[in-house]
């Protein structure tokens, strides 16, 4: 028996969260009004009805459309502070958030506007909730290498505020190899590296992410389980996997939470963590993910302790900061 207060109170880190994916319909409407942007919905219910995607691409089309209401530094600040407050209420003491600069720069929103808004939100959240935050800048893999390099160039003056780079968006047809050079450049600049792989893509994409992108952490990784040698390698290398159960369910990576591989991953000795991915779109924040796994009989109280501990072990906190969290 796992009590809800146990799930809520156990300190945890969230390591797989797209800040644009935390845009709740209510805030989307408020920002659309504030910025006089028209969105193709009449009401919050209308928006929620549109969230009936059943694969990654259908979701991404709606997610990028929703992001169009984000125009000013204040908008990014409001987006970020809403997530930090929600995460803190879930017992999240540390979070490493993804942002997608190209989703905004391709609409004419300057990189600096995004950074100024996020950084002011982070400062406020630290003061209000005592939560610590690191930033991971993701490249959109459906765009080309030149665009990724241009984004990396725009980030130059902000590098001291960015902990790592990531790779997201449409996985199939866009293997990690496409971004080997920009990830090498990011590594040379002292940045950590993560990549979405094995969400919809084959196990070979996970191998590429390890060998060609030199990742420090694997986002999703579900399909790695199809390859026993790869699974053993991930366990041996103590690679952290950022697993997102409700996302997997919504995007039909799993057909039912009863069939979610989290317990097989734990049994294989993988360093699994639980995360919400895009909580405004997938029906829940981090604790909703834990609750859903408990309800499906997938994780025990001991597993939750392991998963929470893994979230700190897999974080990019420096040892002196990590020591204050565990
Ligand atoms: N997968 C890939 N790209 C994304 C996701 C995801 O779950 N969420 C936001 N961008
Ligand atoms: Zn993701």
DSSP letters along 91-110, please? TEEEEEEEE-HHHHHTTT--
DSSP helix, strand, coil percent of the chain (3-state; round to 5)? 55, 15, 30
In angstroms, the Cα distances linking 245 to 10, 143, 262, 289, 313 are 19, 27, 8, 6, 20
**Residue ranges, the chain, pLDDT below 50:** none
Residue nearest ligand 1's atom 4 by CA: 169
For residue 141 and ligand 1, the question of a CB distance below 6 A is answered with no
Q: Where are the domains of the chain?
A: 4-315
For residue 196 and ligand 1, the question of a CB distance below 6 A is answered with yes
pLDDT of res. 88:
98
Relative to the alpha carbon of 247, which ligand is closest? 1
For residue 200 and ligand 1, the question of a CB distance below 6 A is answered with no
Distance from the CA of 277 to the center of ligand 2, in angstroms? 5
For residue 169 and ligand 1, the question of a CB distance below 6 A is answered with yes
pLDDT of res. 7:
98
Nearest-angstrom CA–CA distance, 293 and 249: 11
> Could you give the strand order of the β-sheet that contains 164-168, starting from the edge strand earlier in sequence?
12-18, 92-99, 132-140, 164-168, 192-197, 217-220, 240-243, 271-274
Beta carbons within 8 Å of 253's beta carbon, 6+ residues apart: 199, 200, 220, 222, 247
Span 248-287, pLDDT tens digits: 999 999 999 999 999 999 999 999 999 999 999 999 999 9
pLDDT of res. 256:
97
Nearest-angstrom CA–CA distance, 77 and 119: 8
Distance from the CA of 95 to the center of ligand 1, in angstroms? 17
pLDDT of res. 17:
98
237 burial type by CB count under 10 A (0-12 exposed, 13-18 middle, 19+ buried): exposed
Active-site residue list: 199
Span 107-150, pLDDT tens digits: 999 999 999 999 999 999 999 999 999 999 999 999 999 999 99
- Phi, psi dihedral angles at 172 (to 5 degrees): -60, 130
pLDDT of res. 326:
81
- What is the rounded (10 degree) CA torsion for 305, 311, 317, 321? -20
Nearest-angstrom CA–CA distance, 20 and 69: 11
Ligand 1: which of 55, 61, 277, 280 to mutate, judged by most atoms within 8 Å of the beta carbon? 277
Choose among 270, 229, 224, 265: nearest CA to 245.
265
Distance from the CA of 323 to the center of ligand 1, in angstroms? 31
Ligand 1: which of 166, 278, 282, 283 to mutate, judged by most atoms within 8 Å of the beta carbon? 278
DSSP 277: B
Relative to the alpha carbon of 200, which ligand is closest? 1
What top-level class would CATH report for the domain 4-315?
alpha beta
Distance from the CA of 1 to the center of ligand 2, in angstroms? 30
- ipTM comes to 0.95
Distance from the CA of 206 to the center of ligand 2, in angstroms? 15
Structure tokens at 188: 């040379």
In angstroms, the Cα distances linking 296 to 16, 176, 188, 248 are 22, 33, 43, 14
Nearest-angstrom CA–CA distance, 241 and 151: 26
- Phi, psi dihedral angles at 18 (to 5 degrees): -90, 120
- Residue 128 neighbours by CB distance under 10 Å: 12
């Amino acid at each position: 028996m796992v009590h809800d207060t146990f799930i809520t109170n156990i300190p945890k880190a969230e390591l797989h969260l797209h800040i644009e994916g935390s845009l709740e319909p209510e805030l989307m409407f408020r920002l659309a009004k504030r910025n006089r942007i028209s969105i193709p919905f009449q009401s919050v219910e209308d928006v929620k009805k549109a969230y009936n995607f059943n694969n990654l691409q259908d979701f991404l089309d709606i997610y990028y459309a929703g992001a169009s209401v984000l125009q000013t530094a204040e908008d990014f600040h409001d987006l970020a502070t809403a997530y930090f407050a929600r995460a803190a209420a879930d017992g999240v003491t540390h979070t490493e958030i993804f942002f997608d600069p190209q989703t905004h720069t391709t609409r004419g929103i300057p990189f600096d506007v995004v950074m100024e808004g996020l950084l002011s939100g982070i400062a406020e959240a630290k003061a209000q909730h005592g939560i610590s935050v690191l930033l991971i800048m993701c490249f959109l893999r459906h765009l080309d290498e030149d665009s990724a390099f241009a984004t990396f160039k725009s980030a130059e003056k902000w590098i001291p505020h960015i902990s790592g780079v990531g790779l997201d968006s449409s996985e199939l047809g866009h293997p990690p190899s496409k971004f080997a050079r920009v990830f090498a450049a990011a590594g040379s600049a002292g940045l950590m590296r993560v990549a979405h792989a094995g969400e919809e893509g084959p196990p070979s994409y996970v191998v590429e992410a390890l060998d060609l992108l030199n990742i420090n952490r694997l986002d999703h990784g579900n399909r790695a389980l199809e390859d026993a040698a790869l699974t053993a390698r991930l366990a041996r290398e103590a690679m952290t996997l950022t697993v997102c159960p409700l996302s997997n369910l919504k995007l039909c990576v799993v057909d039912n939470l009863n069939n979610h591989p989290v317990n097989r991953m734990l049994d294989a000795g993988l360093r699994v963590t639980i995360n919400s991915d895009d909580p405004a779109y997938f029906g829940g924040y981090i604790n909703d993910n834990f609750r859903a796994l408990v309800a499906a009989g997938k994780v025990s109280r001991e597993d939750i302790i392991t998963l929470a501990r893994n979230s700190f072990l897999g974080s990019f906190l420096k040892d002196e900061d990590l020591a204050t969290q565990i």
